[in-house]
């Protein structure tokens, strides 16, 4: 199976830990080289966050476990890039 180079997931997380601490924690996962976290929606009790992970072979199971240990839940996998390198999305007419 080809290695996963980029993984974008939608996460529902509590306000605590704050987004900076949450992102710092998931960055410590061995297979993760970098993470970008974007706040999508803020609620009274939870935050909806998009997390983009990059690495040589990103381990989804380890990410999901870390998110759950921080009180969050993975809602969906929104993008996966796998293979020898990451392919940049191009805008097409149907977009």
Query: How large is the average pLDDT for residues 70-75?
Result: 97
Number of H-type helices and E-type strands within the chain: 2, 4
Residue 95 has pLDDT above 70, yes or no: no
Q: Work out the angle between the directed axes of helices 19-27 and 60-69 (0-180°, nearest 10).
A: 140
The predicted model scores a pTM of 0.91
Q: Name beta bridge partners: 46.
A: 14
**The CATH number of domain 4-82, selected from 3.30.450.40, 3.40.190.290, 3.40.50.300, 3.30.70.1340:** 3.30.70.1340
pLDDT of residue 88: 84
Cβ atoms within 10 A of the Cβ of 44, count? Answer: 5
Tokens of 81: 């890039």
Query: How large is the average pLDDT for residues 39-63?
Result: 96
């Amino acid at each position: 199976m080809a290695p996963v180079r980029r993984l974008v997931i939608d996460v529902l997380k509590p306000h605590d830990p704050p987004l900076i601490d949450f992102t710092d924690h998931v960055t410590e996962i061995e297979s993760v080289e970098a993470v970008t976290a974007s706040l999508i929606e803020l609620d009274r009790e939870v935050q909806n966050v998009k997390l983009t992970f990059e690495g040589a072979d990103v381990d989804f199971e380890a990410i999901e476990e870390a998110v759950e240990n921080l009180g969050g839940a993975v809602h969906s996998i929104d993008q996966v890039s796998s293979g020898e390198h990451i392919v940049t999305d191009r805008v097409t007419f149907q977009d």
